[in-house]
């Protein structure tokens, strides 16, 4: 359901999502989708796939998702607040898109997150202080956006080199 909703929100001129057949109940056979041994989706790999469209809140239903790789596309709109429910997420790569709006505070709920790359988008507002509570965050890249305010340097971010 979550991946069908996402596919419906996208334009896919190169047919990279051709295998995403809504009549197949199990998305584990689809290209660009990886599942674990229990047939739960753990990875969506659509980096540099020439897709355009919106991120959809339904992706929150992928509760075992560890890797969301959607970099270098033409994704527009905002990052859904509901992405803060993806508790097992390790990596969210949304860089080099046209994503706008603010970075959701709810991303601070992603306690397993290690890599958050949101650079080269059209994000506005401040870097949420909630991101300082992510204990294992290793890479936070929000460069080349339209962010304002001070960079939070406490919590998990206190040892980050600022560039």
Q: What is the pLDDT of residues 36-66, one digit of tens each?
A: 999 999 999 999 999 999 999 999 999 999 9
Confidence at 150, pLDDT banded by 50, 70, 90: confident
pLDDT at 94: 99
pLDDT above 70: residue 160: no
pLDDT at 1: 86
* Residue 117: partners with Cβ closer than 8 Å, 6 or more residues away: 71, 92, 93, 94, 95, 139, 141
39: exposed, middle or buried (C-beta count within 10 Å: 0-12, 13-18, 19+)?
exposed
Mean pLDDT of 122-126: 97
What stretch of H or E contains 5? helix 2-8
Q: How many residues does the chain have?
A: 163
Mean pLDDT of 113-139: 96
pTM of the predicted model, to two decimals? Answer: 0.94
Q: What is the mean pLDDT of the chain?
A: 94
Confidence at 26, pLDDT banded by 50, 70, 90: confident
Mean pLDDT of 17-45: 93
pLDDT at 147: 95
pLDDT above 90: residue 163: no
Long-range pairs for 139-148 at CB < 8 Å and ≥24 separation?
139/114, 139/115, 140/116, 141/95, 141/116, 141/117, 142/103, 142/118, 143/119, 144/119, 144/120, 145/118, 145/119, 145/120, 145/121, 146/122, 147/103, 147/123, 148/124
């Amino acid at each position: 359901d979550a991946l069908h909703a996402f596919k419906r929100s996208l334009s896919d001129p190169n047919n990279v999502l051709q295998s995403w057949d809504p009549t197949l109940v199990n998305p584990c056979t689809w290209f660009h989708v990886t599942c674990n041994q229990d047939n739960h989706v753990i990875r969506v790999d659509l980096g540099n796939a020439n897709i355009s469209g919106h991120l959809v809140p339904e992706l929150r239903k992928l509760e075992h998702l560890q890797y969301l790789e959607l970099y270098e596309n033409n994704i527009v709109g905002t990052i859904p607040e509901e992405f803060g429910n993806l508790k097992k997420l390790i990596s969210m790569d949304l860089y080099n898109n046209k994503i706008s709006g603010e970075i959701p505070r709810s991303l601070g709920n992603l306690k397993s997150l290690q890599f958050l790359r949101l650079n080269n988008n059209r994000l506005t507002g401040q870097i949420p202080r909630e991101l300082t509570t992510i204990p294992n965050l290793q890479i936070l890249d929000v460069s080349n956006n339209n962010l304002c305010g001070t960079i939070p340097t406490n919590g998990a971010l206190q040892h980050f080199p600022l560039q």
